[in-house]
Every structure is written in structure tokens, then in C-alpha cells.
Amino acid sequence: MHRMTDEEFEAAIEEALDAMPEQFLDALENIAIVWEDEPSAYHLGLDDEGDVASWQDGGECEDEPLPDDLLGLFDGLSLVERAEGGYDDDIPDVITIFKGPHERCFSSREEVVDEIGKTVIHELGHYFGLDEERLAAMGYE
């Protein structure tokens, strides 16, 4: 476990975005990238009884079960889905990066910062239309 200040965590997210190629950043449209301390029931896809929704297929930490280890979440329509129509750009899509799970899952600052970068890229991959299988094949599980 490695604790970070809010400022350090936010800076790591900004660092991950700054490291992205310009053509990818230029393609981002109507999307917010935010962070929160912990995932909410909404983020976890919990139903009214508190059970994890079916889309949750496994945790990120090897030694911790869900739902405590959701590192990030893309909530919106991918560019592929937008192209198919029906997209209303009044409300932005949101990528949320979760601080607590990153701190619990990794033991050093370097590991946390590295994983924040991977999480940002993973969630942006969903924005660009990549599924979990393709992201895993690219090394962004």
C-alpha cells in the first residue's frame, strides 16, 4: 500500500495525459477525466441488493476481491458507438480514476504512478472503441 496526497494523484493523472501522443489528445471530444477517492455503488454497477453487476468479471488486485479494487471506469459512448448515431453531446462522457484502489493495490509510488498511466490509457481505449480483450492484448488489462 502506498498513500499519495490528492495533489500527487492528480499530477500523476495529468502526467499520463501529457505523455499521450498529440493526435489522440486532439481526438478527445466532450469527455471529462476526473478522479474520486473510492468507487460508488453506481461505479461498481451494484444492484439494489448490493450485489456486483454481471459486467464485473474480476478484480485488478491479485490479493483483493472486488469491489474494492476498481481502478478506473469509462462511462459513456465510444467513438464507434457515437458514429452509429443517437449521440447527444449535451452531457460529457466521463473517465473516473479511483485513488483508494490504486493506493491499496500497489506498494510503491513508482508502481502507483505507472498503474495510473495504464488505467488512464485503458479507459481512453474504451472511449476509442477498444474492448477488454483488445486492451489486454495490448498490455492494458
Domains identified in the chain and CATH numbers: 6-137 (3.30.2010.20)
Three-state SS at 107:
coil
Residue 54, pLDDT score: 47
Integer Cα distance of 35 and 7 in angstroms? 11
Residue 62, pLDDT score: 52
Q: How many CA atoms lie within 13 A of 71 on its CB side?
A: 27
pLDDT digits (tens, 9 = 90+) for 48-60: 555 555 444 445 5
pLDDT digits (tens, 9 = 90+) for 20-53: 989 989 999 889 999 999 998 888 876 555 555 5
Residue 65, pLDDT score: 43
Please report, for residues 41, 42, 83, 98, 103, the alpha-carbon distance to residue 38 in angstroms, rounded to integers and kept in the order given. 10, 11, 32, 6, 11
